[in-house]
């Protein structure tokens, strides 16, 4: 059956459902789709992030948290194909992000700058890229506060519960910004960036997690006393539920923390999160999670009418959460004992097989631009439901690259 689908896809120019059988298939498709976006957008300040209902590209400007992923995809294309044409495009789209090095308005600089400039530096050794990364780490560090022991995520957060506006919210996603800080300490020899990352990770470990290793999305702090004022959700189903992408960010973040510090408490945390996710009773057979592990579960009170709407009927999946989780697991397995490692790799492999199947890999008709369909941006806000997302593609490519050494 698989073979038959592949032949149909090749003969008809990918008009039929596409079944990627290998890393090669996925990267070929990524080359075609990424080039389609480059041709369509031309201007590198318009950065593709998702697809509109009419099938056209939704783009964002450089200050959007997703701005580094498109260039990041091109660097991954260069890494896999070694085709220099990708280096030229990756450089062009990365250069458009240069002003970000001075940006201090939210916490997402790690995503924006490390997936783009970080990859560029790793692959080219360009000294200018290093300077920009260090300056970005300085900018991110301005959001750290000693009293809370964390980097502030957003400038404010308005509670779905009671409308309270909090001025020091920290979201679990913030764990993904710490890799940039470790990089900056490594290349400058200044431990200050790394110290901030460790303090942030320790505070988050203490305040963001429940006993079962699931994580709250948002924790709000008092900036003077550092006390936790609230634990809620912004994008999940319920305040006490497990928003799927948030859990994947936590898994990825603590795996990176162990890589960077070799402190066993981070490994135990990442392993605990992995166990929680891999043993979730409410995971579909193909292992691509619903947008929230508890969406539609009536022991949890939905936080918004939109969350409630997407907890009924056919509950949307979040392919992006699956891709991030697969990529994180494929690093975590390197730190596991042999039996555990086998289980982790098998789980990640099954996720990647599902993402490579017609159920999640978009046909040309479904999207000439993105690889994966069926992701969710924010169901609570009612936005980007069951759509392609640029970061789903980014972590899918990263996971496929990481899977190579296990195939």
Cα-based angle 177, 400, 67 (whole degrees, multiple of 5): 35
Q: Does residue 384 bind ligand GLY (CB under 6 A)?
A: no
How far, in Å, CA of 386 to CA of 60, rounded?
19
Q: Which is nearer to ligand GLY, 65 or 221 (CB)?
A: 65
> Which member of 25, 108, 292, 318 is catalytic?
108
DSSP 8-state class, residue 172: G
Q: How many amino acids of this chain bind ligand GLY (CB under 6 A)?
A: 4
Q: How many CA atoms lie within 13 A of 143 on its CB side?
A: 30
Nearer to ligand GLY, 25 or 384 (CB): 384
Of 207 and 235, the one with the shorter C-beta distance to ligand GLY is: 235
> Is the Cβ–Cβ distance between 96 and 161 less than 8 Å?
no
Cβ nearer to ligand GLY, comparing 14 with 397: 397
What minimum distance in Å lies between the beta carbon of 171 and ligand GLY?
7
> Which residues ranging from 31 to 70 are in contact with ligand GLY (CB under 6 A)?
65
- Please report whether residue 245 would count as binding ligand GLY according to CB under 6 A: yes
Site for ligand GLY in 149-208 (CB under 6 A): 173
Least separation in angstroms between CB 105 and ligand GLY = 14
Q: What is the closest distance, in whole angstroms, from the C-beta atom of residue 247 to ligand GLY in the complex? A: 11
Give the residue carrying structure tokens 């913030």: 174
Number of H helices, E strands in the chain: 15, 11
Interface with ligand GLY includes 232 (CB under 6 A)? no
From residue 392, how far is each of 245, 267, 405 by CA, in Å? 10, 25, 21
Told to judge if 108 belongs to the known catalytic residues of this protein, a careful annotator would answer yes
- Indicate which residue of 173, 292, 318, 393 is catalytic: 173
Residue among 152 and 245 whose Cβ is closer to ligand GLY: 245
Shortest distance in whole angstroms from residue 397 CB to ligand GLY: 17
Tally the residues of the chain.
407
- Distances in Å between the Cα of 343 and the Cα atoms of 140, 247, 307, 348, 368 are 37, 19, 33, 9, 35
- How many other β-carbons are positioned within 10 Å of the β-carbon of residue 69? 25
The 8-class DSSP code of residue 110 comes to I
For ligand GLY, the closer CB: 263 or 386:
386
- Residues between 65 and 94 with contacts to ligand GLY, criterion CB under 6 A: 65
Question: Which residues lie across from 290 on neighbouring strands?
Answer: 317
Minimum CB separation of residue 64 from ligand GLY in Å reads 10
Q: Is 163 exposed, middle or buried (0-12, 13-18, 19+ CB in 10 A)?
A: exposed
Residue 345 CB, nearest distance to ligand GLY (Å)? Answer: 25
Query: Is 237 a binder of ligand GLY (CB under 6 A)?
Result: no
Distance in angstroms (rounded) separating the CA atoms of residues 88 and 95 = 11
Nearer to ligand GLY, 66 or 91 (CB): 66
d(CA 319, CA 371): 11
* Contact status, residue 203 vs residue 277, Cβ threshold 8 Å: no
212 is catalytic: no
Q: Find the shortest distance in angstroms from Cβ 320 to ligand GLY.
A: 7
Contact 344, 286 (CB under 8 A): no
Interacting residues with ligand GLY (CB under 6 A): 65, 173, 235, 245
The residues annotated with a catalytic role in the active site are 108, 173
């Amino acid at each position: 059956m698989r073979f038959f689908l592949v032949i149909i896809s090749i003969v008809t120019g990918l008009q039929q459902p596409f079944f990627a059988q290998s890393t090669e298939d996925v990267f070929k498709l990524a080359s075609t789709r990424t080039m389609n976006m480059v041709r369509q957008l031309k201007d590198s300040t318009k950065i593709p992030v998702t697809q509109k209902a009419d099938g056209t590209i939704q783009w964002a400007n450089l200050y959007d948290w997703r701005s580094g992923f498109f260039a990041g995809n091109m660097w991954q294309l260069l890494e896999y194909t070694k085709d220099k044409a990708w280096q030229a495009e990756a450089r062009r789209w990365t250069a458009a992000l240069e002003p970000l090095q001075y940006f201090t308005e939210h916490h997402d600089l790690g995503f924006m700058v490390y997936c783009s400039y970080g990859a560029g530096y790793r692959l080219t050794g360009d000294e200018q890229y290093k300077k920009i990364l260090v300056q970005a780490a300085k900018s991110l560090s301005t959001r750290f506060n000693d009293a809370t022991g964390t980097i502030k995520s957003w400038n404010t957060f308005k509670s779905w519960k009671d409308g309270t506006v909090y001025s020091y919210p920290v979201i679990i996603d913030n764990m993904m910004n710490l890799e940039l800080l470790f990089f900056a300490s490594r290349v400058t020899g200044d431990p200050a960036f790394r110290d901030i990352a460790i303090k942030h990770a320790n505070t988050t470990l203490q305040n963001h997690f429940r006993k079962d290793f699931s994580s709250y999305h948002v924790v709000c702090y008092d900036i003077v006393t550092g006390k936790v004022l609230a634990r809620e959700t912004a994008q999940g189903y319920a305040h006490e539920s497990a928003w799927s992408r948030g859990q994947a960010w936590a898994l990825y973040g603590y795996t990176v923390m162990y890589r960077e510090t070799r402190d066993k408490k981070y490994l135990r945390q990442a392993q605990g999160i992995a166990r929680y996710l891999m043993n979730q009773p409410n995971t579909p057979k193909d292992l691509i999670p619903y947008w929230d592990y508890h969406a539609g579960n009536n022991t949890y009170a939905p936080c918004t009418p939109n969350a409630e709407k997407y907890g009924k009927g056919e509950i949307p999946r979040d392919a992006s959460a699956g891709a991030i989780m697969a990529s994180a697991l494929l690093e975590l397995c390197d730190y596991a004992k042999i039996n555990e490692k086998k289980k982790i790799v098998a789980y990640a492999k099954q996720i990647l097989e599902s993402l490579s199947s017609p159920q999640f890999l978009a046909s040309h008709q479904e999207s000439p631009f993105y690889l994966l369909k069926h992701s969710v941006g924010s169901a609570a806000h009612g936005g980007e439901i069951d759509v392609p997302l640029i970061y789903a593609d980014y972590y899918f490519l990263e996971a496929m690259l990481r899977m190579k050494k296990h195939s």
